A and B are shown apart, each in its own frame.
Chain A
Amino acid sequence: DGGITQSPKYLFRKEGQNVTLSCEQNLNHDAMYWYRQDPGQGLRLIYYSQIVNDFQKGDIAEGYSVSREKKESFPLTVTSAQKNPTAFYLCASSFPGQGTEKLFFGSGTQLSVL
């Protein structure tokens, strides 16, 4: 059953703590993305990766870090430097193409601060 799996579905962070959100895909996609969604708002791009061992900052990368050691995996770490981390985080993947980058999304992780 192909798709994108995000875990956990709910995550709680204590002040000063780093937390890592998991994203795994078995679609054989080269590109992967992390988006942040705040209530009633659209998605904002945090980081993206076009290929293994390479990634670029999106529009709101401060306070976040990523790695891309495997094609299938693109974990996101929310560091203690991110002062307002409460949000819904969405991972996505795509085949990089010629401007036809349809995204496939995971089901999201809701991060809250204790």
Chain B
Amino acid sequence: SQQGEEDPQALSIQEGENATMNCSYKTSINNLQWYRQNSGRGLVHLILIRSNEREKHSGRLRVTLDTSKKSSSLLITASRAADTASYFCAHVTTDSWGKLQFGAGTQVVVTP
């Protein structure tokens, strides 16, 4: 399977703390993306990092990519209760046309 794996499966933190989740993949990629899903809803794109980039920021989000280790991490700083959701990484392999391979996701719960 070309699907990625995410770690941890679940994460429970308090408001104001940082949340870090990791994603690993198996093949060469064009880019890696992170999505957020609120319960029972569709996914929302958060950030995309290309294979030649090492770090990217968007607001309270920081994504890193290590292609030598085939891994990425998503950091949410100063978390809020509204950040409670599942977070998925997805990657586009170099041998597939735009087909995203999704990981199983990390379920994040932020308590006030």
Contact = CB atoms under 8 A, between A and B. Distances in A.
Interface stretch (A62-70, A75-83, A90-98): A90-98
A36 to B, nearest CB: 11
A102 B48 contact: yes
B31 A100 contact: yes
Contacts of A104: 45
Interface size class, chain B: 20 to 34
Nearest to B9: A40
B41 A99 contact: no
A106 B42 contact: yes
B85 interface: no
Interface in B77-112: 88, 90, 92, 94, 97-100, 102-105
Interface string B37-55: 0001111110010100000
A92 to B, nearest CB: 8
B44 A105 contact: yes
A53 to B, nearest CB: 17
A100 B105 CA distance: 21
Given A42-B88, A42-B104, A99-B30, A48 B99 contact: yes
B43 A90 contact: yes
B45 A42 contact: no
Given A42-B3, A42-B102, A102 B45 contact: yes
A94 B98 contact: yes
Contact of A108 (B40, B45, B88, B94): B40
Contacts of A110: 40
A102 B33 contact: yes
A31 interface: yes
A100 B48 contact: yes
A41 interface: yes
Given A40-B104, A100-B48, A102-B48, A108 B41 contact: yes
A96 B98 CA distance: 7
A61 to B, nearest CB: 13
Looking at A58, A105, A106, the one whose CB has the most chain B CB atoms below 10 A away is A105
The 3 closest A-B pairs by CB, nearest first: A99-B30, A105-B42, A101-B98
